[in-house]
Every structure is written in structure tokens, then in C-alpha cells.
Amino acid sequence: MPKPSNLTLFCFPCAGASASVYFSWRRNAPQWLRIVPVELPGRGARLAQPLLRDFEQVVLQLTDQLLPDFSQPFAFFGHSFGALIAYGVALELRKRGRIAPSALIVACCSAPSRRDDERLTKLDTDDAIVEELRNLKGTPPELFEHSEMLRITVDVASADFAACRSFKRGDAPPLDTDIFVYGGADDDVTEESLDAWRLESSRRTTVEIFAGGHFFLREHESLFLANLFEKMRKI
């Protein structure tokens, strides 16, 4: 079997998270696949920068930041809020007349046409955000007992939820790129909401459901990465 061409996979984290969630992916990726965890302002290595609460601002800043890296074949991966951001950056690249990603991979994120605005509207207080983080079961339990770290996490999640609320689908035509969609069988994001990503692509769209919840990709990381890397090998 011929060796695949080099490919860069830009990985966008979920609400409240930093790029560090993808560090283990870099260690496990095949040599031909370059994993680039994308850090949003106000967390991780960019902790000193102000948080952004507007979707368009996040997209424009990340597009400007990453643009020099888009000269080689690349794809986008996003988990939950990160999937929406990845989609937004893909749209912005098209608006600027730049090359599209070879694929858009989204996990545990309702399609733009299926956003649950009512749920997002309720995530506007500290208590509501903490409850949401507990329910999603992606935050280490010990963090809820550490007031300083919890404060940082809630502030970051608050900004990300605000940015998510400000997203507007508009009338953007479908992207000319493959979309690979993943979901968790026990996640609140329904298969119908995942399947609606087909409306956002003029090419192929696939939907796969894994055992687990909103963070199934962490619960079954080895299995998921094997599936993801195989898809990347074929694009």
C-alpha cells in the first residue's frame, strides 16, 4: 500500500477546554499525519489573552492566526463547540477565496441548522455552567473542589457558550468538502441533529455513532483514533 501524502489535522477543542486535550493525539498519530491542537484565547498557552465571547471574532482571529499554515493539505477536526468553530473557519476561508480543508470532521455537535438555542440561553450563570460541566462528564471531578481552577474553567466555558449563542447560520451554501460526523450513543446530541450536517456539504457526509456519551472520544480514545486516522489516510 503506498504511503499517504502528508496531511495536517487542525483540532479545535470543546467549550471550556484548551488545546492540551489533543496532545495525546500527537503522540499516537502516524508519521504522515501532523496534529495541530488549536488554542483559543484565554486558556492554555494563551491564558493572558482576553476571552472572546463573539463567534465571528473567534473565527476571524483563528483564521488570521492559522492562515500561514494552510499552504499544505489540511483538514479540520472539532469537538462540540470546536466543531462549530471549525465549520466557521472553513466558511471564512471560502469567503477569502482560499483553499478548502480536505475534510471537516465534527464530533458531538448538532448541525448548524439544528442548534438548540433555548438550551444555550440558559447557560448564562455560574451555577448553570457548573451543572452543565458536571452533566457532560468531561471535567475531572477533583476540579470542582478546587475553587481557583474551577473559576478559570467556568470563565472560559462562559465565554465559549456566549460565542456559541452568537452563532448565526445565515444562508451559506454547502461547503465543497467531505464532512465526517461522529456521535456518542448516550449523548444528548441526537443522531438526527448529527445527520443534518449533510446539508452543509456538496460532497459526501458520513455519520458514525460510538458507544459512550459526549466525551466518547476520550472514553474510547484508541478505538476512535484508529477510525479517525484511517479516514484521514483515505482522503
Residue 1 lies in a domain: no
Mean of the pLDDT values across residues 17-45?
95
Q: Measuring CA to CA, how many Å separate 132 from each of 5, 16, 53, 127, 158?
A: 41, 11, 18, 9, 11
> What's this model's pTM, rounded to 2 decimal places?
0.93
Task: Concatenate the DSSP letters of all residues of 157-211 into one string.
Answer: HHHHHHHHHT---TTPPPBSSEEEEEEETTSSS-HHHHHGGGGGBSS-EEEEEES
- Structural domain count, the chain: 1
Q: Is 97 a member of any domain?
A: yes
Looking at the domain assignment, is residue 107 inside a domain? yes
What is the residue range of 14's domain?
A: 7-234
Residue-wise burial string across 60-78, b where 16 or more C-beta atoms lie within 10 A, e elsewhere: eebbeebeeebeeebbbbb
Please answer whether residues 32 and 5 qualify as being in contact, where contact means their C-beta atoms are separated by less than 8 angstroms. yes
The string of pLDDT tens digits covering residues 154-208 is 999 999 999 999 998 888 899 999 999 999 999 999 999 999 999 999 999 999 9
Report yes or no on 218 lying in a domain. yes
pLDDT given at position 4: 58
* Domain assignment present for 2: no
If residue 78 lies in a helix (H) or strand (E), which one and from where to where? strand 74-79
Tell me, what CATH number does 179's domain have?
A: 3.40.50.1820
* 89 lies in some domain: yes
What are the tens digits of pLDDT across the range 209-219? 999 999 999 99
Q: Is residue 234 predicted with pLDDT exceeding 50?
A: yes
Q: Does residue 83 lie within any of the structural domains?
A: yes
Tens of pLDDT along 133-142? 888 878 888 8
Of 111, 71, 69, 105, the residue nearest 86 (C-alpha): 105
Q: Is the pLDDT of residue 121 over 50?
A: yes
Q: Is residue 167 part of a domain?
A: yes
Q: According to the model, what pLDDT value does residue 149 have?
A: 84
List, for residues 44-95, the tens digit of each pLDDT value: 889 999 999 999 999 999 999 999 888 889 999 999 999 999 999 999 999 9
